[in-house]
Amino acid sequence: MTAYLGRRAFGALWAVIGVAIVVFVILHITGDPAAVMMPPESTQAEIDAFRHAQGFDRPLIVQFASFAASAAHGDMGSSLRHQEPAMGLAIQRLPATIELAGCAFLIVALVGVPAGVLSALRPRTWIDYTARVIALIGQSAPTYWIGLMLILLFAVRLGWFPASGIGDWRNLALPAATLGFFSTAKIMRLTRSAMLEVLDADFMRTARAKGLTAVRVSLGHGLRNAWLPIVTQLGVELGTLLSGAIITETVFAWPGVGRLAVQAVFERDFPVVESVVLLTATIFVVLNLVVDLLYAVLDPRIRYA
């Protein structure tokens, strides 16, 4: 087990380093930020002086070497826009993103899985059809549009929730619903098909033949055996929710990591983009590892050596 963990951690480290290199190269080949940051009336000499002071006039490989050297010491450089340590800015916004993604994940797990199970147990009934139509909408409507519609209905028309910003639980409701909608739909469909597959299995017939209650048959035997793909997907979804709140955070003016990332990309604030990507990549990789370890807990037949 320890050896396995060591191997996986080593692999994860390389994945994060790979991400860092790709992001660095992609950012820098799109041009340097001097022309955008300086005011329009700047002369070429003024722009060049700015570029020199920021070190953007050095060859790409030299810039990368100095980036890698400081990154290895945990220093991602200073934000061009805020003139503060870039990683600090990203970490500062992490709690807001975790709060939003965590609530969205609860919606995904507590609505998506039960709805999928019900839908599979009662195929071709109104429950099934309603769940499937909602899933279809969730999977096909853009997050941006859903967010705006929720704002118009629940904030402007009904006045139940604030339209934007962070605060108490009421501020959380609309963005969490928006963010969780797509993943809920996905988990629901996945749960439904996974359940349908096991419902006809021999052990299910045996369980029923033993005289177990319908609930115990479907949850204790059915869901228990359909779990693996669902848990894998839940893990992936949690990672996506944590790193993919960009649109939701922008629409709802939520002060999280995603919004910081969008602004940083628009303004070519390289250190911040690099920090955000590294941070979310790390979260994603760690979550994946946790999911893999969960397998052994959920299915005793799986053992890591």
Partner 1 sequence: MTRTVFTLFAAVLALAPAAPLRAADSGGTTVTISQGVDADTLNPLSKTVTPLNNVVQHFYERLADFGNRSGEFVPLLATSWKRVNPTTEEYKLRRGVTFSNGDPFTSADVKFSVEWIKDKSHASEQTPFVRDIDRVETPDPYTVRFVSKVPTAIPPGLQQPIFIVDAKYFQEKGAAYVGEHPVGTGPYVLREWRRDDQLIMDVNPKWWGGRPKIDHVVFKPIPEAAARVAALRTGATDLITNVPPQYYIQITGGQNTKLASTRSLRQLFIAFNTLQPGPQQNKLVRQAINYAVDVPAIVKNVLGGRGYELTSPIPPNYFGYDASVPGYKHDLAKAKALLAKAGYPDGKGISLVVNAPIGRYNRDREVAEAVSGQLQAVGIAATVKPQEWVSYSSMVGRRALSPLYELGWNQPSADADGVVTSLFTSSGPLSCYSNPEVDKLADQARGELNVAKRKALYKQIATILHEDAPWIVLFEYEDLYGTSKRLHFQPRGDEAIRAYEMSVS
- What residues make contact with partner 1 under the rule CB under 8 A? 30-33, 35-44, 46-47, 49-50, 52-54, 81-84, 89, 92-93, 95-96, 98-99, 102-103, 105-106, 109-110, 148, 151-152, 155-156, 159, 162-168, 227, 231, 250-253, 255-256, 259-260, 262-263, 266-268
Contact, 24 vs 64, CB < 8 A? yes
Closest distance to partner 1 from the beta carbon of 229 (Å): 14
Closest distance to partner 1 from the beta carbon of 215 (Å): 15
Closest distance to partner 1 from the beta carbon of 200 (Å): 24
Name the DSSP letter for residue 125.
S
Closest distance to partner 1 from the beta carbon of 230 (Å): 9
Closest distance to partner 1 from the beta carbon of 17 (Å): 27
Whose Cβ is closer to partner 1: residue 16's or residue 148's? 148
Helices marked H in the chain: 2-29, 34-37, 44-54, 60-72, 86-107, 113-121, 126-140, 143-150, 169-199, 202-209, 214-215, 224-243, 246-251, 257-266, 270-298
Closest distance to partner 1 from the beta carbon of 70 (Å): 17
| Other CB atoms within 10 A of residue 122 CB | 13
Whose Cβ is closer to partner 1: residue 114's or residue 123's? 114
β-strand partners of 85 = 78
- 28 vs 21: CA distance, rounded Å: 11
Closest distance to partner 1 from the beta carbon of 165 (Å): 6
Whose Cβ is closer to partner 1: residue 32's or residue 274's? 32
The one-letter code for the residue type at 296 is A
Whose Cβ is closer to partner 1: residue 132's or residue 246's? 246
Whose Cβ is closer to partner 1: residue 54's or residue 139's? 54
Q: How far is CA 305 from the centre of its chain?
A: 30
**Residue 25, token pair as written in the block:** 């190269």
Query: With the C-alpha atoms ordered 213, 214, 216, 221, is the resulting torsion angle positive or negative?
Result: positive
Whose Cβ is closer to partner 1: residue 132's or residue 174's? 174
Contact, 296 vs 302, CB < 8 A? yes
Whose Cβ is closer to partner 1: residue 11's or residue 165's? 165
Closest residue by Cα to residue 242 from 155, 175, 162, 179:
179
Q: Is 124 left (phi over 0), alpha (psi -120 to 50) or beta?
A: left
The one-letter code for the residue type at 85 is P
Closest distance to partner 1 from the beta carbon of 153 (Å): 11
Whose Cβ is closer to partner 1: residue 3's or residue 156's? 156
β-strand partners of 78 = 85
